[in-house]
Amino acid sequence: MSTPATNAAQELIARSNRLGADPKNTNYAGGNTSAKGTETDPVTGEPVELVWVKGSGGDLGTLKESGLAVLRLDRMRALVDVYPGIDREDEMVAAFDYCLHGKGGAAPSIDTAMHGLVDSAHVDHLHPDSGIAIATAADGEALTQKIFGDKVVWVPWRRPGFQLGLDIAAIKEQNPKAIGCILGGHGITAWGDTSEKCEKNSLWIIRTAEKYIKANSKKEPFGPRVKKWEPLSPAKRRARAAELAPTLRGVASKDRPMVGHFTDDKVVLDFLASRNHPRLAELGTSCPDHFLRTKVKPMVVDLPADAPLEKVKARVAELHEAYRADYAGYYDRNKVKGSPAMRGADPLIILVPGVGMFSYGANKQTARVAGEFYVNAINVMRGAEGLSTYAPIDESEKFRIEYWALEEAKLQRMPKPKPLATRVALVTGAASGIGRATAEKLAAEGACVVIADLSLEKAQAAAAEIGGPDVAVGVQVDVSDAAAVQAMVDEAVLAFGGVDLVVNNAGLSLSRSLLETTERDWDLQHDVMAKGSFLVAQAAARAMIDQGMGGDIVYISSKNSIFAGPNNVAYGAAKADQAHQVRLLAAELGEHGIKVNGVNPDGVVQGSGIFSSGWGANRAAVYGVKEKDLGKFYAQRTILKREVLPENIANAVFVLCSAELSHTTGLHIPVDAGVAAAFLR
C-alpha cells in the first residue's frame, strides 16, 4: 500500500543517493538528510506527523530504508520544552529514542534535532569541500554574505547537537528569504518545501561556492612549489612508497595494529610540493567528520623524497616520537574530569612529500576512507587559503568531539573484531585448491588477503569473489624469480600497508621414478617449492622486520617431506627442503616475533591444480586405481578413513596464526587423516 509518507521516504532515499553519489557534495558517510510527512498511526487510526532522517553511521550514497530513523514530529518537537540547556544537551540524544515511530530503522544521529526542529518539509545537511572552505575561512561570515547575499546565512561554530538545531530553526524563521546556512568550521544546511526544491537548494549553495572559489582564488593558494618536494616519477615514487610502507605501518601501529592505504593522487602531491604545506598540515582538519577519521593532524616527513632510505627511516622514528609527545600534550591540555582515556597517540595520516599519503584504520575500508577525508581536507584548505586564510576550529573544540561521551559510546557499540582483523595475509598459489581455500578462510576470519598466483587473471578473479579490493587483491608472481617475488611483496604493502602472515603454498609435482626424473624435472620442482619458499620468506621477512609487529610464515609442506613414497624423488626432496626451512627460519626469526610453522597434508585431490595437471593421473596409475577414485583411495589408507580437503588445510593454517597458538613456532601439523608412516618423530 502506497501512502504519502511512504512516497516521502522513497523520495528522501532517492535524493540522498543522488547527493551522496558525487564526492563534491559530501564525503563518505558524511552529512544527513530528512523528509517530513504524514502516516496513519496503526494504534489510533489517526494521522500522525513523522520525520524520516538518515540514521547514525549511514552513507547517503548507499542509503536504504533500513538506514532511516523515523520519529514522531510532535514528540520530537516537545523536547524543546524539557531541553535542560547546552551543558546537558547530550542527554537529548537518548531522548530521541522515546520519539521513535514503528519498528526497526536506524539509531537517530546527533543531527536529528536540526532536521526535526527546522520548519521545512525537507532538510539536507552536507559536507561539501567548497562549503567547508567558506566555513573555515578566517572571514567566512563576510564571504558568506558576499557570495550568497540573503539566500544563505552564516552560523558561528557550534558543536553538533540540540542547541545547533534550535539555532538553525531560529535562523530559518528569522530569514524568510534564506534557503540554507553555512555552518562555521563544519559544512552546510539547506531546506525546501519539496524534495526537489531542497536538493536544488543544496546544489545551488555547493556550486555557487565552487564557482566563486574558482573565479576569485589566488593563483597559488598553498604558496610556490618547492623543488626538493616535487613528486618523483610514478615508478620511483611507488618504489619509495613500497620501501617505506612497512616502517610507516609500524609507526601507525605502535598502540594498536592498523591496516594501511597508499595514494599518490595529484591533489596530495601538489599540496606536498607547496611551500605552505607544513604550516597547513600543522593546523589540522576542521570538519568533525574529517578529524574523527584522520586525527586532528597528520605526521609529515620533512626530508626530500629521494633522501637516502636509512636516513628517512631514522627521521621517521624521530618524527613519530615527537608526534606522540605532541598528541599526549593535546590530550592533557584539553581533558576534563570524566574524559575517556587517550585512545592512542599514533598518526592516522602520514604525508611524504614527493611520494604521497599513507592512511590507516582498523580495516582497509576505514584506512582508504581516512585518506579520502584528508583529500577533502586538502581541498578545503585550498579553497580557504585561495580566498582568505584557513582557520579551522580550535583544538579544544576538536577534543570535545574526538573525546565526546557520545563518540565513546558509539565506539563501544562497535562489534568485536574478528580474530585476524588488521592482519595482512599473502598466500602464494592462491587461485585454486589449498591456496584458494586458505585465502577464503583467512579473509573470513578478518584478514586482508593478497592472492598471488602464476595466472594474474585467475588471481584477480579469486580476489573479486572473496571480497574485492578492500578485502582481497590479486597479483601475479613466479615464485622462482626473486624480482617477481619482491614485486609481489611490494604490491602487498602498497595495497594494505604491510604484510603479517605469509603462506608458502605455491607448488607443482611430476610423478616419476628416479631413472625417469630429468635434471629439468628436479630443477623445476626445487625452483618453485624449495627456492620459491625461500625467496618469499626472505622478502616478506624484510617487510615484517621493518614493521616491528611480528608475524607468521606458514609452509604448506607435505606428508611426503617425511613419508618415502614411490616415484616421487624430486617432489619429496623439495618438500623435505621446505620442512627444514620451517625449523631453520623459526630459530632465526624468533627474535623479531615472527613465528614459522608448517602444515603437512596428505594428497588433497579436490580442487587441486597439481592433481588436475597430470599428477593425479600418474599417482592413480602408480596405485592402480581410477583417477576419479584417487581421493577415496587416499582416505582408505589413513587411520581415520577420511579424505583430506582443501578447507582442512586452511583450518590448520588459521589455527597456527591465531592467538591460541601465539607461543608456537617450528611446528609441523599433519593434516593427513592419520598416516602412520608420516608420524613426526
Q: Which cell is 556 given?
A: 604448506
Quick one: what percent of the chain has pLDDT higher than 70?
97
CA-to-CA distance for 250 and 247, rounded, in angstroms? 5
Active site residue 571: yes
- In this prediction, residue 3 has a pLDDT band, given cuts at 50, 70 and 90, of very low
Model confidence at 619: pLDDT above 90: no
Mean pLDDT value across residues 277-303:
93
Query: How confident is the prediction for the chain on average, in pLDDT?
Result: 93
pTM: 0.93
At 58 the pLDDT is 83
- Choosing from 212, 571, 623, 634, the catalytic residue is 571
Task: Say how far apart CA 342 and CA 360 lie, in whole Å.
Answer: 18
Segment 240-269 shows an average pLDDT of 98
Asked if 281 and 291 touch (Cβ cutoff 8 Å), the reply is no
pLDDT, tens digit (0-9, with 9 covering 90-100), for 105-141: 898 988 999 999 999 999 999 999 999 999 999 999 9
Per-residue pLDDT tens over the stretch 28-37: 878 899 999 9
* Percent of the chain whose pLDDT exceeds 90: 80
CB 123 within 8 A of CB 33: yes
Q: What letters, b where the CB count within 10 A reaches 16 and e where it falls short, cover 76-95?
A: bbebeeebeeeeebbebbeb
Is a pLDDT exceeding 90 seen at residue 607? no
Q: Which residues make Cβ contacts (< 8 Å) with residue 347, sequence separation at least 6?
A: 251, 252, 295, 298, 299, 320, 323, 360
Per DSSP, the three-state class of 332 is: helix
Give the CA-trace dihedral at 366, 372, 378, 382, to 10 degrees.
-150
Amino acid occupying residue 475: V
pLDDT of residue 339 exceeding 60, the answer is yes
CA distance 233 to 538: 28
Of residues 606 and 214, the one with the higher pLDDT is 214
Which residue type does 279 have? Answer: R
Q: Which residue has the higher pLDDT, 605 or 462?
A: 462
Q: Are 663 and 586 in contact (CB under 8 A)?
A: no
> What's the rounded mean pLDDT across residues 254-280?
98
By mean pLDDT, which of 85-99, 198-212, 238-252 is the weakest? 85-99
Q: What is the pLDDT of residues 354-379, one digit of tens each?
A: 999 999 999 999 999 999 999 999 99
